Amino acid sequence: MERVPILKIGRTLFVSIQIELQDDTVVRLQEDLADELSATGARGVVIDITAVEIVDSFIGRMLSMIGSISRLFDAETVIVGMRPAVAITLTELGLSLNGVRTALNAEKGLELLNGKA
């Protein structure tokens, strides 16, 4: 099983998903992020999904859960780079990503975390 790497930049954890997401991979990412948040005391998580072609209800739920978990560590999660087709599909599916914030791109996501936006 492939793993999604987590980068720490300052007080932010940065995740860029570049692989086809399998259920196990997302569950693993959630666990890894919880470990990292607890170990580093990071205050924010940026998850870049520019390369992600689909987000179904399982992946969507996992993203929401990552948001809720980060909040327990007093950190905020921002999902950035969602493709328009993915957003349209999510609204049709009836899924709103509770617990996370969204931004158009990584730069805006970081601004959001730093309170500039």
Partner 1 sequence: MADYLRDHHDKIVGRWSELVLAQVRGRTSLDEVRRELADLYSLIVRVLSDADDHAAGELRAALDELSRSRARDGYTPRETAIGMLALKEAVYEFVADTAELVPEFLVLSRMIDDLGLRTFEAYSAAREQIISDQSTSMLELSTPVVRLWEGIIAVPLVGTLDSARAQLVMEKLLDELVATSADHAVIDITGVPTVDTEVAQHLLKTAAAVRLLGAECTISGIRPQVAQTIVSLGIEFGDIATKANLADALALALRQAGMKVVPVA
Partner 2 sequence: MNAVPIRSGDDVVRVRQLVRTAAAENGLSLVDQTKLVTAASELARNTLVHGGGGTATVEVVKSPIGRPGVKLSFNDEGPGIADIDLALTDGWTSGSGLGLGLSGARRLVDEFELNSKPGAGTSVVVVKWSR
Q: Is 14 helix (H, G, I), strand (E, B) or coil?
A: strand
110 part of the interface to partner 1, by CB under 8 A? no
Binding site partner of 93, from partner 2, partner 1, none, Cβ cut-off 5-8 A by kind? partner 2
Q: 32 exposed, middle or buried (CB, 10 Å; 0-12, 13-18, 19+)?
A: middle
User: What is the rounded distance in angstroms from the CA atom of residue 86 to the CA atom of residue 71?
Assistant: 25
109 part of the interface to partner 1, by CB under 8 A? yes
Q: Which helix (H) or strand (E) holds 24?
A: helix 23-40
CB of 108 to partner 2, least distance (A): 23
Binding to partner 2, residues 40-99 (CB under 8 A): 53-58, 60-61, 83-86, 88-89, 92-95
Among 37, 90, 110, 113, binds partner 1 (CB under 8 A): 90
The terminus-to-terminus CA distance of the chain in angstroms comes to 37
Q: Answer whether 42's CB lies under 8 Å from 66's CB.
A: no
* Alpha carbons within 13 A on the beta-carbon side of 117: 15
4 part of the interface to partner 2, by CB under 8 A? no
Positions that interact with partner 2 (CB under 8 A):
20, 22-24, 53-58, 60-61, 83-86, 88-89, 92-95
Positions that interact with partner 1 (CB under 8 A):
78-80, 82-84, 87-88, 90-92, 96-97, 101-105, 108-109, 112, 117
